[in-house]
Structure 1
Amino acid sequence: MGRLLTSGRAFWLGLFVITWALSTWSFQLYKAFDARWIIRFPKHWELPLEDNISRFLNWLVESANFYFFTFKDLTRGIAAIIEAPYQILRNLLIEGFTTGYGDTAVLLAPSLGWVAVVVCVIAIGHYARNWGLAALVGGCFLYLAVFGQWHSAMITLASVLIAVPIGAIGGLFLGIAAFRSVWVNRALQPVLDLMQTVPVFAYLVPILILFGFGPVAALVATVIYAMPPMVRITILALHAVPEEIVEAGRMAGCTRRQILWKVQVPSATPTLMVGVNQVIMLSLNMVIIASMIGAGGLGFDVLAALRRLDIGGGIEAGLAIVVMAIALDRASQAFGARGQRPKRTGNLLQRHPWASTVALVILANLVLGMIIPALQTYPDSLTLTTGPFWADAMKWININFYDTFEAIKVVVLQGLLLPVKKFFSGIPWAWGICAMGLISWRIGGWKLGLMAALMMGFIAASGLWPKAMVTIYLCGVSVLIATVIGIPLGIWAAEKPNAGRVILGLMDTLQTLPSFVYLIPVVMLFRVGDFSAMIAVVLYALAPAVRYAAHGLRDVPEQMIEAGVMAGCTKRQLLWRIKLPLATPQLLLGLNQTIMLAISMLVITALVGTRDLGQEVYIALTKANAGQGIVAGLSVAFIAIVADRIVNALADGQRKRLGL
């Protein structure tokens, strides 16, 4: 064991020393041998993927013919199918139903109005759980009206109400197919990996080319982004159904189809609702990015505020998204935990009191709204705004703490960011591929090593090695800081329940804030550059490190803690020698999620001046260069996949060592 441990340390030390030496002397080697290929992959060997992908997409849209229809007809048909219910929802929530165009348009029926919508969500909250939830969701939607965010919020809600069913139902059926067929499961896993790790910006351009500019293209992008968790959770939920329940269904004479839909799916419903909840939250997280291709709503308000550096307007619109996310999140969680309830008896009103109440309120609102417009549209004179408060607060912080912030920025840049950036930027591409393969092989075996080497080779052969190293440096530093901050906070939350409620509540807020919202105060306080990007990434990626640390410590078996107490361990010894070692697999899972969020946020931080793969993806979007965007997006995805596999292999190894 001692020799094995020593050899392991020697391996890591030797790998680091070689990498450091090559990174330090790479530019000297380049100058001495006049060999640019040491630093950058030779230009004439690069893969011509960008042009080929762009040509293929152009052919698909302009020339692809399937005898009776073209590919463009197919995509436009899909767009029409999605747009019809979306427009109905917009009419129902905002615009009302009209006939005719322009000045000749005649209003057939008004929209529901804010009063009716608030009553509807209160009814849903009470039906899902109790009056407490009804008050919460009703208060959240009332907030949207009072603070002047109603119109934009209803556009966003219409998008969510279309994207979530498509994502949830599509994910459910794909998950069922993967559950039933090993081959489908094997084929789906890499696709799901790519869907979850390719930056959204990378596939916005192909979606624009295929579906055109507008809300439909935004809905398609949202569904692609939000569906993978539903697929994965469906597979896990169906596998988790106890075998004795399935066996009881077989003994009752159920066919395979009946066992699936009458036994397995109902038994897995609580877990499946977790997947629906994830689809809702990811759909809301997409609203800002989707606004870049025509979605509108709250996302467009945040994006417009970011472009104007309007701190007050951006935070106010961002808080509206958070409020809506909280309402939909709590309601969907309540439905997942609701279970079966006894059926009511009596007449129609007694059996369905809330449905009857909502119908009466809607009818009354439609009639009275024509007489009292304030029931239909919340009066502008009664709206409140917090925009000036946020703007003044940010201005005050800037004036009073500018020198302090600049000093911190300089220290972190000179003491941490620049040295780490220099180290990674100097790694020769050939050694970088070998080193990543060796690291992965040492942790997860030769298959993982080969996969990592091939993926890093793809990045180098695409001519993106320098930008990939900047991405890894920024992600690595951000994850390190998020972990150093997050794990102690998680320990505090687990050890002190009162503090835990505050800390985890703060993490809830950080997780529901759209990623773009972080950029506004960060840019106002720290200007643009790598430091600002790092701060935004740390804030966005902090929550998983905290949550998994708290969850892991709370899940330590009570008998292990009791054994430590009986052995005379102090509280500090219990924490460091029992709880933390046993919670290591959970801590590593938290690290995994922190890395994934950091990588996804790095693409957004291209807007504040980073020079990494995220910038490459964003430039491709602005130039509508699908090939460039897809290649850069795949490079980001490959970095994420390699990191994911390495951390998972570490977690699996730790579980085996602990006998878990």
Structure 2
Amino acid sequence: MMWRRLTTPAALFWWGLFAVTWLLSSYSFQLYKAFDARWIIRFPKGWQINFEGWISDAMRWLLEDATFGLFTFRELTRFISGLIEIPYDAARALLADGFISGLGSNAVEIAPPLSWLAVTALAVMIARYAKDWGLAALVGACFVYLAIFGQWQSAMVTLASVVIAVPIGVMGGLALGIACYRAPWFERALRPVLDLMQTVPIFAYLVPILFLFGFGPVSALVATVIYAMPPMVRVATVALQTVPPEVVEAGHMAGCTKRQMMWKVLVPSAGPTLMVGVNQVIMLSLNMVIIASMIGAGGLGFDVLSALRSLDIGGGIEAGLAIVVIAIALDRVSQAFATRLPDVAPAQDAGLVQRHPYLVAAGLIVAGTYLLGLFIPFVQDYPERLTLTTSPFWEDAMRWINVTFFDTLDAIKSFFLTWLLLPVKRFFTGIPWACGIIAAGLAAGRVGGWRLGAMAGIMTALIASVGLWNEAMTTVYLCGVSVLIAYAIGVPLGIWAGQRARAHAWVGAFIDTLQTLPSFVYLIPVVMLFRVGEFSAMVAVVLYALAPAVRYAAHGVRSVDPQMIEAGLVAGCTPRQLLWRVKLPLATPSLLLGLNQTIMLALSMLVITALVGTRDLGQEVYIALTKANTGQGIVAGVAVAFIAIIADRIISAMARRSKERLGLT
């Protein structure tokens, strides 16, 4: 049976493609020496396309010469900066800095920021309104944690950024989603733009934004909005398209205009699904705060980045945990709003307190804490003498682990480097660029047809033509190894969780924790344990990309039709046979989607691991950021996006074919 599967035409095609690629990869250097043809291993310099220079020149023209008649492009970007800066300054003054009049030594504080008790009480009240007192207690504990462990000031600066970035991202995403719903041609035109926005590395956003908007928190907010908006656009489009036809018909029968239909019928009906998009915007905004600190965001992100640069393990983990605490609070509250039922309308003769009890309570909290803070300092600011720190604990823990398990950790690192990372790296980096282009086109064409094959070949050729072939192959190798390990760990965990309710609860909590950790937080303990290098990068990527492999595997196993399971039991299948012959084949589409998402997360994290010494496309983007080289950053970022798009399209085609084969379409 196994031999028959290995000798089918499809299997023989893949074996042949791998064998030819492996041979050329192994002997490419010998071929170059034998034929004195350097072009075999390196794309000829004379053939390279100078996209980098063209983009840099275009950006320079935009800033120096571009004009719209009444105003220049530079004036337009400064106007946008001013519009964003006004609400950001207000939010930061309200939460962190207070309201100040004057500059420098003449500055006078008009009013202090909201006290820590006021912010905590307001957060508790919002959580209670969203769900129940259990959620309120969790959110309250999160904010009290920030005060007790001395992270309040930085946390409020971060929260001010999120408070401004999330509404802009949500409103912009909803507007584009509505446009996609109303005009299918607009959705088709916007889809490749969203693909690029979601696959271009975060660092690549920062380079042109830094060039256009300058260094500072406004640039960081613009980068955050661009990064966080695409999921909202996609969710809004799907949410509006899936509103039940009966609801739409009822709106037409009630005589709704086009505007009323949208805002009175469609958007309220799609509210729970739209809140999922809001949740994604919040989490992505928090994930961006550390990266945006590179261009002036400040707050907890800057604290983590400073700790990473100075190898301050204790301070970095404390600031990272503070981000996790904020992420948990905002994530749980936004999820609660997604499932919240509408309030019962109050009686028409009800007073202000009956109609708006939470708003009245919020006003009383703000006014009461302000007045008390004038006389009792503890109400306004948490006393510094009562703050705690876990920094020495983390420092000692890491030191103890390094001393006690140094030989074990070093052996694990050496094993993976010797038997996995280096052999795979030699294979990918040895592939001649021409062979790689042909192999990518043939593989994609075999899975998804000639159009997908042509697209993959063209994108691969463009990567080679800009002189980034070696860096791209290093990226593919690191991503491939990381995804292989994450998938090998995640799928068994997901299958286990999918078949046992208690395991599902424990694994779900573990995965939720991994997903709320910002990407940079993974780097600090990994660097402390394994130092810089490709192995550290791989460990960080595996941890970051593990979640979708687990989630999709669990979902695929749990969503198998019970009738199919019953049929297997009637046929006399053992539990092992039921898993391998029934559940896993039927869960294949979900497993492939999990693989797809694992690759996407791995690529996004791989660019961030440039900070720990990788030599791939991520390093090119990071170097471009440090030099403010717009062309280099965009070209390297688009190369990463091309790799992501090729992988996405190939795996999506495999999932589609799997569904057709199983009759699930």
**TM-score normalised to structure 1 length:** 0.98
Match of 1:602 in 2: 606
- The answer on whether the counterparts of 2:553 and 2:590 sit within 8 Å (CA) in structure 1 is yes
Superposed CA offset, 1:287-313 (max 9, x none): 000000000001001000000111111
Distance (Å, rounded) in 2 between the aligned partners of 1:460 and 1:585? 32
Q: Distance in 2 between the 1:256 and 1:355 partners?
A: 32
Deviations 1:132-184 (A, max 9, x none): 11111111111111111100000010000100011011000101111111221
Structure 2 unaligned regions, length at least 5: none
1:596 maps to amino acid: M
Q: How does 1:473-488 map to 2 (within 5 A)?
A: 473-488=477-492
Residue in structure 2 matching 1:286, options 285, 288, 291: 288
State the Cα distance separating 1:62 from its structure 2 match: 1.1
1:248 and 1:361 map into 2 onto residues whose CA distance is 43
Higher mean Cα deviation, 603-612 or 354-363? 354-363
Q: C-alpha offsets along residues 314-342 of structure 1, whole Å, 9 cap, x if unaligned?
A: 11111111110010011111111112121
Shift of 1:352: 2.6
Aligned residue for 1:365? 369
Q: Secondary structure at the match of 2:270?
A: helix
**Could you tell me how far 1:350 is from its partner in structure 2?**
2.8
Distance (whole Å) between structure 2 residues aligned to residue 314 and residue 142 of structure 1:
19
**Contact conserved, 2:536 with 2:612, CA < 8 A, in 1?**
yes
Q: Tell me which amino acid in the other structure corresponds to 1:497.
A: A
Q: State whether residues 6 and 12 of structure 2, in contact with CA within 8 Å, keep that contact through their aligned partners in structure 1.
A: no
Aligned to 2:574: 570
2:84 and 2:25 mapped to 1: Cα distance? Answer: 52
Distance 1:497 1:355 in 2: 40
Number of residue equivalences:
660
Q: Using the alignment, how far apart are the partners of 1:243 and 1:500 within structure 2? A: 35
State the partner residue of 1:344.
346
Q: Is the 8 A contact 1:118 1:138 kept in 2?
A: yes
Counterpart amino acid of residue 397 in structure 1? I
Aligned to 1:49: 51
Against the structure 1 CA distance between its residues 186 and 514, is the aligned structure 2 distance closer, same or farther, given a 3 Å change threshold?
Answer: same
C-alpha contact 2:610 2:618 (8 A) present in aligned 1: yes
Offset at 1:256? Answer: 2.3
Three-state SS of the structure 1 residue aligned to 2:309 is helix
For residue 117 of structure 1, what is the amino acid of its counterpart? Answer: V
| Aligned twin of 1:58 | 60
| DSSP-derived class of the 1:286 partner | helix
2:203 corresponds to 1:201 = yes
Which segment is superposed worse, 328-337 or 214-223?
328-337
Q: For 1:292, what is the secondary structure of its paired residue?
A: helix
8 Å Cα contact 2:5-2:11 kept in structure 1: no
Contact 1:94 1:113 in 2 (8 A): no
Aligned twin of 1:489: 493
Q: Give the match for residue 234 of structure 1.
A: 236
Report what 1:434 is aligned to.
Answer: 438
Q: Which residue of 1 aligns with 2:35?
A: 33
Encode CA deviations 1:219-247: one digit per residue, 9 max, x unaligned. 00000000000001111111111112212
Give the TM-score normalised by structure 2.
0.98
Matches of 2:507 and 2:402, distance apart in 1: 26
User: Quick one: distance in 1 between partners of 2:256 and 2:356?
Assistant: 32
Q: C-alpha displacement at 1:430, in angstroms? A: 0.6
- CA displacement 1:82-122 (0-9 Å, x = unmatched): 00000001111111112222333222222111000011011
- Map of 1:446 onto structure 2: 450
**1:419 and 2:420 matched:** no
Distance 1:4 1:150 in 2: 60
- Which of these residues, 550, 557, 568, is aligned with residue 553 of structure 1? 557
Percent identity between matched residues is: 69
Structure 2 counterpart of 1:656, one-letter code: E
Q: Partner residue of 1:19?
A: 21
Match 1:401 to one of 405, 413, 423: 405
Q: Pick from 95, 107, 110: which aligns with 2:109? A: 107
How many Å separate the matches in 1 of 2:345 and 2:252? 28
Taking a change above 3 Å as real, the CA distance of residues 293 and 3 of structure 1, as seen in their structure-2 partners, is closer
In 2, the alpha carbon distance for the partners of 1:589 and 1:11 equals 24
Question: 1:47-446 alignment to 2 at 5 Å?
Answer: 47-345=49-347, 346-446=350-450
Q: Equivalent of 1:627, from 596, 619, 631?
A: 631
Contact 1:486-1:542 at 8 Å conserved across structures = yes
CA distance in 2, matches of 1:417, 1:494: 31
Contact 2:534 2:614 in 1 (8 A): yes
Distance 1:203 1:119 in 2: 36
Q: State the partner residue of 1:510.
A: 514
Partner amino acid, structure 2, of 1:302? V
The answer to whether the 8 Å contact 1:146/1:382 transfers is yes
Within 2, Cα distance between the matches of 1:25 and 1:47?
A: 28
Which position in structure 1 is the counterpart of 2:590?
A: 586
In the aligned structure 2, how far is the partner of 1:57 from the partner of 1:619? Answer: 18
Structure 1 unaligned segments of length 5 or more: list them: none
Distance 1:613 1:52 in 2: 19
Distance 2:6 2:25 in 1: 28
Residue number in structure 2 paired with 1:460: 464
Aligned twin of 1:522: 526
Deviates more, 1:98-107 or 1:427-436: 98-107
CA distance in 1, matches of 2:448, 2:116: 55
The 1-side partners of 2:277 and 2:179 are apart by 16
1:353 positional shift: 2.5
Amino acid at match of 2:225: V
CA-to-partner distance for each residue in 1:634-657, whole Å, 9 max, x for gaps?
Answer: 000000000011111111111111
TM-superposition CA deviations, 1:579-615 (whole Å, max 9, x none): 1111111111111110001001111111111111111
Range that drifts further, 80-89 or 261-270: 261-270
CA offset at residue 561 of structure 1?
Answer: 1.4
Counterpart residue identity of residue 500, structure 1: H
State the AA in 1 paired with 2:618: G
Q: Deviations over 1:250-273 (max 9, x none)?
A: 222222222222221111111011
Contact 1:301 1:314 in 2 (8 A): yes
Could you say which residue in structure 1 is the equivalent of 2:662?
Answer: 658
Q: How many angstroms apart in 1 are the aligned matches of 2:104 and 2:534?
A: 50
Matched residues in 1 for 2:292 and 2:465: separation?
Answer: 31
Segment drifting more, 155-164 vs 63-72: 63-72
**For residues 533 and 616 of structure 2, what CA distance do their matches in structure 1 show?**
11
Structure 1 position 355, deviation (Å)? 2.1
- Alpha-carbon distance, 1:203 to partner: 2.1
Paired residue type of 1:393: A
Deviates most, 561-570 or 77-86? 561-570
C-alpha separation in 2, matches of 1:151 and 1:331: 22
Once residues 12 and 400 of structure 2 are traced to their aligned partners in structure 1, the CA distance between those partners, rounded to angstroms, is: 53
Q: Please, which moves more after superposition, 544-553 or 105-114? A: 105-114
For 1:4 and 1:247, how far apart are their aligned partners in 2? 54
Give the counterpart letter for 2:113 in structure 1: S
Q: Which amino acid aligns with 2:76?
A: L
> Which residue of 1 is the match for residue 643 of structure 2?
639
The whole-number CA distance in structure 1 between the counterparts of 2:570 and 2:605 is 46
